[in-house]
Amino acid sequence: MAKRVPPEPDGALYVRLPAQAIDKLDRAAEALGMHKKDLVAGLVTKYVDPDSRKGLTALGALSPPRRGALEIGDAGPTLGSYSFQAYDPPEVMNVEQTAQLLQLEPKVVLELAEAGTLPGRKLGTTWRFSRTAVLAWLAAPEPR
């Protein structure tokens, strides 16, 4: 009995393509009765040769380079993409959020609040700080 070879693990690739290219890929996959992922994997396997300068040059000729992209053979950092989500602190903050905004340890924020230096209100056993008041305090010149 022949030994069964397990398939290679799949990786994820998410790309945005021009509508015309998507249409061509859809039509080719339908005509061939293949999944688009298998069609793309076959094309990459057959036509993409990242290990030779000739292969990379041929691929590079397919589309203009991205802004900021390095030329083939350039020594330099690898460019990629990133994503981030902006963080806007809430209008009313607790000690930890205020410490993060001021880039201080929470213990220092408590000490400043207890001393009456940092504007805030003690509600029961917890401190609350107005983001606007904290930023105004930070921007104000120090008293002499």
**For residues 68 and 108, which has the higher predicted lDDT (pLDDT)?**
108
- Cα dihedral: 47, 28, 36, 66 (round 10): 50
Q: Please give the torsion angle defined by the CA atoms of residues 71, 41, 7 and 56, in that order, rounded to the nearest 10 degrees.
A: -20
Residue 54 has φ and ψ, to the nearest 5°, of -60, -45
Q: Which residue has the higher pLDDT, 139 or 72?
A: 139
Tell me what pLDDT residue 3 has: 72
**How many residues in total does the chain contain?**
144
What's the pLDDT tens digit per position in 4-38? 777 777 777 777 888 888 888 888 888 989 888 88
- Residue 113 near residue 120 (C-beta atoms within 8 A): yes
Q: Which helix H or strand E contains 25, and what residues bound it?
A: helix 19-32
Report how far residue 131's alpha carbon sits from residue 135's, in angstroms, rounded to the nearest whole number: 6
- Rounded CA-CA distance 2/42 in Å is 26
pLDDT over 90, % of the chain: 35
Chain segment 82-141, per-residue pLDDT in tens = 666 676 768 999 999 999 999 999 999 999 999 999 999 999 999 999 999 999 999 998
Strand partners, 92: 130
